[in-house]
Structure 1
Amino acid sequence: MRWIIILGLLLCGVQWATASSSKIPKQKWGYVDVRKNAHMFWWFYGASQQRRDQAPLVMWLQGGPGGSSTGFGNFLEIGPLTVQLKPRNTTWLQKANLLFVDNPVGAGFSYVDKPSAYCTNVTQIANDLVTMFKAFLKTIPAFRKIPFYIFCESYGGKMTAAFGVALKKAIMSKEISVDFRGVALGDSWISPQDSVDTWGPYLLSTSLVDTEGAAQIQSYANNIRTALSNKKYAKATNLWSQMENVVENLTNNVNFYNILTQPSSNGLTCAAHDTACRILSEMNTLTLAQLMNGPIRKKLRIIPKNVTWGGQSGPVFQYQSVEFMKPVIDDVDKLLDMGVSVTVYTGQLDLIVDTLGTERWVNKLKWKYLSQYKKSKRVPIYASGSRETGAFYKSYKNLSFYWIMKAGHMVPADNGPVALEMLERVIGAKHMN
């Protein structure tokens, strides 16, 4: 009953917005049929502490693939309420309008009618997102002239890089009108080989394995490299899964998403590649799934009866299994060359997409200003009201890098104040009151 009452207060903004003369509602959600048999769900929140038409629009894309933005990003990281339905002090609504998208189709409340409608590569995902975003801009036209940014996490970074390129091309061809400013790639699966190649050294440096263990882990990384060079992409993904199991055995079940926390068994059984399920398990909570499939579902009123939140996440991963281990560094290069602002941020305690691997792929960029970026000064950042170093920052022209301290894979969940500080820097104070 408490959930129903609080959610009623939270979601009543939709009715208020309908009667308001404001061009930007306080809250809104809906479905977009991005293709035949493919239905994408989105959930929008208006900025809470300023005029909504003077705040930028930030789209949040989750990882997995198969993770839900409207669930994980919203209730676990940057939305107005926590899973326990308590106000979040570090919600990004303080600085921006937020758009959560359950992407690809099959993630969260998004769904497909037939298996043939699942996406099998990031190009299809990017095209679906362009279609969805066009429909969103028709729903709230004011955002055509308001600065737009894409923030993401994990595999969401791979999708964001492809989406960013597709969106920029659509803007250049006048298929869509929007003030697209930049992307922020959080702990992003941009170059899988660079990530797995650094698992051994990272675990060794943090005392989670010994020299022999690091060598054993590296042998799997080498096998993955061989599979990728032979274009055996599905095999590379299977080897990655096996490598995760080896790492867990050698480290007494290290938490891939934050090495300083130990996963606890909570009776949740996950499929081998169900990352969304795995995160739920490692955060030791079933509350989010209960919330989304219970009170949230009832309040949204548009979720089909046969659709369960996260129910199609397993197939989403399986249909991306060939694409999963392919790098998309070239898409990041394209964004930089197109003049799009690219921010890379990484959590100090993340293993699955560790900082070592992230720095490696950044240094492989073919961007013409890379040498100047490397020479630029790395400076400390302090969250508001704190004297403790919260992050380090480095930037040159339209490329920026943030090293976030005391955070794992889900940076805003682990270090909310610093994540909020980073957001403000990325979107720029000139967009805020």
Structure 2
Amino acid sequence: MFTALLLFTQLVITQFVAQPSNLTTKRGYAGINVRYKQVPAGICEQNPNVRSFSGFADVSENEHIFWWFFEARNVDPTTAPLTIWINGGPGSSSMIGLFQELGPCGVNIEGNVYDNPYSWSNVSNMIFIDQPTTTGFSYSIPIPGFQDSSTNEIVALPNATCPDYADTTTCGTYNVYNTSLTANSTVAAAPNFYLTLQAFTGAFPQYSSNGIFFATESYGGHYAPIFTRYILEQNELNTTGTAFIDLRAVLVGNGWFNPILQYQAYYNFTSNYSTRLHQGGNTYGLHYNASIDAYVFNNMYGAHNCLDQLLDCNTYPYATNASDGTGNQVCSAADSWCYNQVELPYDNVLGRDEYDIRYLTPDPFPYSFYVDYLNRADVQSAIGAFTNFTQGSSITSTAFSGTGDDARETGVTAAVEYILDHNVTFVMYFGDADFNCNWFGGEAFSKTLTNTGTYNNGSAGFANITTTDGITHGQVKTAGKFSFVRIFEAGHEVPFYQPLVSLEMLNRTIQGYDIATGTTPLTSDYFTKGPVDSTYINGNATVTYEVLPMNATYNTTTNQPNPPYDVASERNNDDGTSSFSSGGKLLTRLHHAKLDFMKAKAKEAELGVPWSSSKRVVQKKGRHMLFEESGRRKKQDHGHVWKQEM
């Protein structure tokens, strides 16, 4: 028996997973086998006439990439386009996007599945891919194990029998801890993503006959440019046995594009003092006081501090591994320093959710009840799972941390320009309440692109986005096939907060029309007219000043929680959607809150910055500590306590 540092992302009741034996096998393009099964109606998609499949692309002997596909609802699936969705992390499962944001279903507090009327599958075939290996349901080598309560590590077991000394609720099937069986950088992850597309489109050619669209978020700001460039380059190589991937557009939500710009945006977003800023910081009026502002400013711009370290990092190439690569060590150290000294003070001082600054932590939105649902034996059997489900992979995040990938620009700027040069539409969209990958950093990145035509020469401006409800949910600045979108009153996972405008944005992109109105075909000389900067001030009307209960529900019409918060019933919102609330015990979330409280207090002492409230708890959703939802990435190198994924 051996111990491996494989860690839970959430404390859930698990079980040993019965290995599926009823999967159908097909050979895809590039010689990649696909194993799959049809998923029964009701597991997610509620309409029995809309088919769903889940399975694996066997990209190597010990690398099996999980995917879950849904036919288009309102379009003939054999003539509909195919939209690919991946979450970020690195190591964040795309089940986050499926169940929390834009898939056909969600899961309520009672564990019941409900329909999402704004699913992106309304207008497109959808495939959600867990990548790289060990992310979500993707697996390398499944092993039986249990969680050691004293270390929160997974202890491997000799067989699928839970011993007396183990916590029976944590005995289950997990990936063997081996970082060589996953990617350790964005560049390294690209080939297997490409092979997964080759596998699926070869096994199911009828679902991608009308073009392919690629959507992602968060660390997708790294993934999407590099993956897309790789796909386009492979198309040009035209290797025997592969198929042309007809990629027509890329959409990235709240992306982490250039860390040099994004780390500076952490200061800009929370400062009300710097003359460099438009708006004087974020548009919700949630800023640092003068002393904290000065503290963070020095940490960002002082000699040998964050900016200098990031610039130094980005002079080095990747090395083969972290142990012999000076550049990897420099970049990993820079990212750790910048996180602790520039990003983390936000959590410790303001006590607000990095992924939606309108809410104090712990933030109940978006809902995470689907995690327990995906660890039910009947659900795992229905989708052909080989392992239990975790929202984020500590194996993958550790591998990426070793190369300092998060701190590297990694060729993202050149890749976006390459994509635009190849006539592929590129859309950057940002929820303006997100701090983690905030729109200030995204807009700064957009201004560095050199081939966006009128976008950066003062001609193009921000125009309001008109939608079918007659409400302005955001603004867009477009030049040719490049668009930057700011979505109002939305956090990191935009489709959860603003589902209508998100769906219409996708549909207009698919149809080749402008995002602003959906009526004008995109041409090389098209550009939106309006002010050069987006100057809308949200104010604090939707900002909360008390911690919400974990059973709170969100109203996408009012952009606020639904009162009251303790009604144990399903109810219909004004917009026709259903909300669920219950007074039931949420032991998992409370357990997380307690653990993160202890972590945050430890970091407070390390940083020497004041604690803001006796009620506040740090709730990290993806970057650094993968707590519950999606996120950019997790820190794995701040000492053992930080290696626990929540």
TM-score, structure 1 normalization: 0.85
In structure 1, how many angstroms separate the alpha carbons of the residues matched to 2:397 and 2:365? 20
Q: Write the deviation string for residues 164-206 of structure 1: whole angstroms up to 9, x where unpaired.
A: 0011111122242232101011110111221221222222332
Match of residue 430 from structure 2: 346
Q: Which amino acid in the other structure matches residue 224 of structure 1?
A: C
In structure 1, how many angstroms separate the alpha carbons of the residues matched to 2:53 and 2:217? 23
In structure 2, how many angstroms separate the alpha carbons of the residues matched to 1:149 and 1:350? 24
Q: Which amino acid in the other structure matches residue 239 of structure 1?
A: W
Match of residue 212 from structure 2: 148
Aligned residue pair count: 397
Contact 1:170–1:176, Cα closer than 8 Å, also in 2: no
Question: 5+ residue gaps in structure 1?
Answer: 1-6, 18-24, 265-280
3-state SS of paired residue (2:66):
strand
Query: Of the two, which has the highest radius of gyration?
Result: 2
Structure 1 residues 202 and 228, CA gap change in structure 2 (3 angstroms): closer
Pick one of 19, 26, 48 that aligns with 2:51. Answer: 26
Structure 1 residues 12 and 109, CA gap change in structure 2 (3 angstroms): closer
Tell me how far 1:368 sits from its aligned partner: 6.0
In structure 2, how many angstroms separate the alpha carbons of the residues matched to 1:373 and 1:427? 27
Match of residue 111 from structure 1: 139
Match of residue 347 from structure 2: 248
In structure 1, how many angstroms separate the alpha carbons of the residues matched to 2:204 and 2:130? 18
Structure 1 residues 374 and 100, CA gap change in structure 2 (3 angstroms): farther
Deviates more, 1:126-135 or 1:221-230: 221-230
Tell me how far 1:282 sits from its aligned partner: 5.8
Deviates more, 1:192-201 or 1:216-225: 216-225
Structure 1 residues 29 and 9, CA gap change in structure 2 (3 angstroms): closer
**Structure 2 residue 51 is the aligned partner of structure 1 residue 46:** no
Contact 1:373–1:395, Cα closer than 8 Å, also in 2: no
Match of residue 269 from structure 1: none
Q: Which amino acid in the other structure matches residue 494 of structure 2?
A: V
3-state SS of paired residue (2:92):
coil
In structure 2, how many angstroms separate the alpha carbons of the residues matched to 1:416 and 1:99? 18
Q: Which amino acid in the other structure matches residue 211 of structure 1?
A: A
Match of residue 396 from structure 1: 479
Pick one of 212, 220, 225 that aligns with 1:161. Answer: 225
Match of residue 128 from structure 1: 192
Match of residue 276 from structure 1: none
TM-score, structure 2 normalization: 0.58
Structure 1 residues 288 and 371, CA gap change in structure 2 (3 angstroms): closer
In structure 2, how many angstroms separate the alpha carbons of the residues matched to 1:88 and 1:358? 29
Q: Which amino acid in the other structure matches residue 201 of structure 1?
A: N
Contact 2:452–2:479, Cα closer than 8 Å, also in 1: no
**Structure 2 residue 494 is the aligned partner of structure 1 residue 411:** yes
Question: 5+ residue gaps in structure 2?
Answer: 1-38, 142-177, 272-280, 314-329, 519-646
3-state SS of paired residue (1:68):
coil
In structure 2, how many angstroms separate the alpha carbons of the residues matched to 1:409 and 1:345? 10
Structure 1 residues 287 and 12, CA gap change in structure 2 (3 angstroms): closer
Q: Which amino acid in the other structure matches residue 156 of structure 1?
A: G
Contact 2:62–2:181, Cα closer than 8 Å, also in 1: yes
In structure 2, how many angstroms separate the alpha carbons of the residues matched to 1:323 and 1:111? 22
Match of residue 80 from structure 2: 55
Q: Write the deviation string for residues 237-291 of structure 1: whole angstroms up to 9, x where unpaired.
A: 212331332211121x211111101222xxxxxxxxxxxxxxxx76485522201
In structure 2, how many angstroms separate the alpha carbons of the residues matched to 1:284 and 1:356? 23
**Structure 2 residue 337 is the aligned partner of structure 1 residue 239:** yes
Query: Which aligned pairs between 1:5-404 and structure 2 lie closer than 5 A?
Result: 8-11=40-43, 26-69=51-94, 71-84=95-108, 85-113=113-141, 114-174=178-238, 175-204=242-271, 205=281, 206-222=285-301, 223-231=305-313, 232-242=330-340, 243-251=342-350, 253-264=351-362, 283=365, 286-294=368-376, 297-304=379-386, 307-310=387-390, 313-321=393-401, 322-327=404-409, 328-367=412-451, 369=453, 374-386=458-470, 388-404=471-487
Tell me how far 1:12 sits from its aligned partner: 9.5
Match of residue 558 from structure 2: none
3-state SS of paired residue (1:176):
coil
In structure 1, how many angstroms separate the alpha carbons of the residues matched to 2:290 and 2:415? 36
Contact 1:293–1:309, Cα closer than 8 Å, also in 2: yes
In structure 1, how many angstroms separate the alpha carbons of the residues matched to 2:502 and 2:77? 21
In structure 1, how many angstroms separate the alpha carbons of the residues matched to 2:377 and 2:90? 25
Structure 1 residues 257 and 296, CA gap change in structure 2 (3 angstroms): farther
Contact 1:199–1:217, Cα closer than 8 Å, also in 2: no
Contact 2:43–2:379, Cα closer than 8 Å, also in 1: no
Higher helix share: 1
Contact 1:345–1:403, Cα closer than 8 Å, also in 2: yes
In structure 2, how many angstroms separate the alpha carbons of the residues matched to 1:383 and 1:348? 18
User: Between the two proteins, what is the percent identity of the paired residues?
Assistant: 23
Structure 1 residues 187 and 397, CA gap change in structure 2 (3 angstroms): same
In structure 2, how many angstroms separate the alpha carbons of the residues matched to 1:311 and 1:351? 21
Contact 2:79–2:207, Cα closer than 8 Å, also in 1: no
Contact 1:352–1:409, Cα closer than 8 Å, also in 2: yes
Tell me how far 1:127 sits from its aligned partner: 0.7
Deviates more, 1:95-104 or 1:294-303: 294-303
In structure 2, how many angstroms separate the alpha carbons of the residues matched to 1:10 and 1:117? 34
Q: Which amino acid in the other structure matches residue 331 of structure 1?
A: A
Contact 2:86–2:129, Cα closer than 8 Å, also in 1: yes
CA RMSD of aligned residues (A): 2.5
Structure 1 residues 312 and 342, CA gap change in structure 2 (3 angstroms): closer
Query: Which aligned pairs between 1:416-427 and structure 2 lie closer than 5 A?
Result: 416-427=499-510
In structure 2, how many angstroms separate the alpha carbons of the residues matched to 1:344 and 1:383? 18
Q: Write the deviation string for residues 192-223 of structure 1: whole angstroms up to 9, x where unpaired.
A: 22122122222233233123222222333332
Contact 2:70–2:125, Cα closer than 8 Å, also in 1: yes
Tell me how far 1:377 sits from its aligned partner: 3.1
Q: Write the deviation string for residues 103-136 of structure 1: whole angstroms up to 9, x where unpaired.
A: 1212110122343112111112111100111000
In structure 2, how many angstroms separate the alpha carbons of the residues matched to 1:346 and 1:286? 21
